[in-house]
Amino acid sequence: GENVEQHPSTLSVQEGDSAVIKCTYSDSASNYFPWYKQELGKRPQLIIDIRSNVGEKKDQRIAVTLNKTAKHFSLHITETQPEDSAVYFCAASKGGSYIPTFGRGTSLIVHP
């Protein structure tokens, strides 16, 4: 089955800095890669996603890049703000059942 590795497990940055979280996946058939943000005690919320026919996608301060050959994808957050502090999960899935395999999460801490 699919295996998703996520790094780092914890990331501490100063407000205004950029943050990058990286994930690798094992199943070359995976074609959908969502990123979720989960604040303490809250539900996971989709913040951005990318499909295998696209190499990069941006939404304001958030961007995701995908390298299919290397089977890795990354989340980039620019101009970080304290409210970006949360746990971020990457996931990989393929068409049909769309059952995602999640990474173990990255705890992002943005210091004011």
Residues that bind other proteins (CB under 8 A): 4, 6, 32, 34, 36, 42-46, 49, 89, 91, 93, 95, 97-105
Q: For residues 42 and 58, which CB has a smaller minimum distance to other proteins in the complex?
A: 42
Q: How far apart are CA 110 and CA 107, in angstroms?
A: 10
> What's the chain's Rg over C-alpha atoms?
13
Is residue 77 exposed (0-12), middle (13-18) or buried (19+ Cβ within 10 Å)? buried
Q: For residues 29 and 99, which CB has a smaller minimum distance to other proteins in the complex?
A: 99
CB atoms within 10 A of CB 51: 12
Q: For residues 14 and 43, which CB has a smaller minimum distance to other proteins in the complex?
A: 43
